Structure 1
Amino acid sequence: MNRLFHVPLSPFCRKVRLSLAEKKIEVELVEERYWENDPDFLRRNPAGKVPVLRMGSQILSESVAICEYIEELHPEPPLLPADPEGRFEVRRLIGWFDDKFHREVTSKLLYERVNKKVMGLGYPDSTNIKQGAKAIKFHLDYMAWLLDQRRWLAGDAMTLADFAAAAHLSCLDYISDVDWNRSETVKDWYAKIKSRPAFRSILADQISGFLPPPHYADLDF
């Protein structure tokens, strides 16, 4: 049985979960408190990060590398375009969300509001929260601009770029930090992607001490 060591509100873990589910690959989810530096977990990934996927005899780490490994083993349905230009755009956008969006938004909102409490690292930093709340507006506007020109973020087909963005936004939506009224285009895109069967287990996540808003699991918002 495949096994994914994960944290429910990690966008990097959620991206891998979406990829596995879209390709109908069964996996056992094992919640990992990676910040406790458990020796068994560190043997799986000395970097001490989630996700870690045990797939057959392979122990895989780093979310982008895991997703591309899955894509090569299970190319259907495709989550990367066939042409080099299309693959470049997908990878560029994954980098955008996993680097820029994560640094400017996710780490400022999710980590301050949730991770600090869970890890026992003190109180949220209000300055970081204000910066994250401001920055997400820019990113939602950028997504709206992309979606005004394309059916999906990277082109005419859904790709890993959409999963990367949706993974971050779904985590933030769990804590009510996404203003879905800012762009009907982005809201419609998210409604479309969270209606996919691959999203079901993510929408069922429950984090102790944190309740999602009523619309979180509502496919029609």
Structure 2
Amino acid sequence: MATLHHSTFCPHSRFIRLVLAEMGMEPVLAEERPWERREEFLMLNPAGTTPVLVEAGGLAIPGPGVIAEYLDETRGLGLSGRRLLPEAPGARVEVRRLLDWFLSKFDQEVTGYLVTEKIHKRFMTSNLGGGPPDMNAIRAARTNVRYHLKYIGYLIARRKWLAGDHLTYADLAAAAHLSCVDYLGDVPWDEDEMARNWYARLKSRPSFRSLLADRVPGMAPADHYADLDF
């Protein structure tokens, strides 16, 4: 059985958890606090970041993009019509483009700020960067999430799913990042109905159940976080 080294509110980890669930895989989950830089974890991924998927034979696959590509190469064909990275080259380009948008751009402009400032800093010692949140960073993230939400709405107004007619890695990556922001109550859902309806579809999938059960110790989620009809 595979093991997923993850951090519960790391959006990249959440993306891979969704991918694995959609593929029908149930890995052992090993919680990591990346800022602690455990020696054993650094041996799996010298970058010290989550997630890292370790196959039963010991192969360690680090990073969300690498894991997604690896899973498509090793399990994709067996998914038939449920493959999360399409077969057509042009369609694969679009999924990869959007995957990069959410794993990089959205993370750098929104999720990275909010998760670090509002969640991770609560558990980090002062010498590792813990302490009170930087409100300037939080305000910037709250501003940035608005145009990302509009972009999602723009895509969904023209497509059934973000990258086309079928659910792909692009949808799961976007939803994983938004799930972290939504836990904190920082997604202005009332500003784009198309984006909200798309997220509601993702949120209702069985693969999302474990994410909706996650909790930050001492921090309750937004009231609508686990509500499928929000």
Is this a same-fold pair by TM over 0.5?
yes
SS at match of 1:119: coil
Matched, 1:99 2:120: no
Matched, 1:143 2:143: no
Matched, 1:37 2:59: no
Look up the equivalent residue of 1:41 and give its one-letter code: F
Count of paired positions? 221
Please name the residue that 1:46 is paired with.
Answer: 46
| Partner Cα distance (1:116, 1:146) in 2 | 34
| Partner Cα distance (1:27, 1:211) in 2 | 26
| Partner Cα distance (2:170, 2:64) in 1 | 13
List, as ranges, runs of 4+ consecutive aligned residues in structure 1 with deviation greater than 4 Å.
none
1:82 to 83, 87, 95: 87
Structure 2: segments with no counterpart, 5+ residues = none
Please name the residue that 1:154 is paired with.
Answer: 163
Please name the residue that 2:2 is paired with.
Answer: 2
Please name the residue that 2:15 is paired with.
Answer: 15
SS at match of 1:4: strand
Task: Give deviations 1:2-42, integer Å, cap 9, x for gaps.
Answer: 11111110110011101100010111111111211111111
- Offset of residue 171 of structure 1: 0.6
CA contact (8 A) 2:162 2:171 kept: yes
SS at match of 1:74: helix
Which stretch of structure 1 is more off in the superposition, 203-212 or 167-176? Answer: 203-212
Structure 1: segments with no counterpart, 5+ residues = none
SS at match of 2:157: helix
Which stretch of structure 1 is more off in the superposition, 24-33 or 115-124? Answer: 115-124
What is the RMSD computed on CA atoms of the aligned residues? 1.0
Please name the residue that 1:194 is paired with.
Answer: 203
| Partner Cα distance (2:219, 2:29) in 1 | 20
SS at match of 1:150: coil
| Partner Cα distance (2:163, 2:35) in 1 | 34
Fraction of identical pairs, as percent: 47
| Partner Cα distance (1:147, 1:13) in 2 | 24
SS at match of 2:26: coil
SS at match of 1:5: strand
1:174 to 183, 189, 198: 183
SS at match of 2:196: helix
- Offset of residue 98 of structure 1: 1.1
Please name the residue that 1:211 is paired with.
Answer: 220
Matched, 1:134 2:143: yes
Please name the residue that 1:62 is paired with.
Answer: 63
2:114 to 109, 113, 118: 109
| Partner Cα distance (2:214, 2:72) in 1 | 25
* TM-score, L = length of structure 1: 0.97
| Partner Cα distance (2:149, 2:219) in 1 | 24
Look up the equivalent residue of 2:15 and give its one-letter code: K
| Partner Cα distance (1:126, 1:218) in 2 | 28
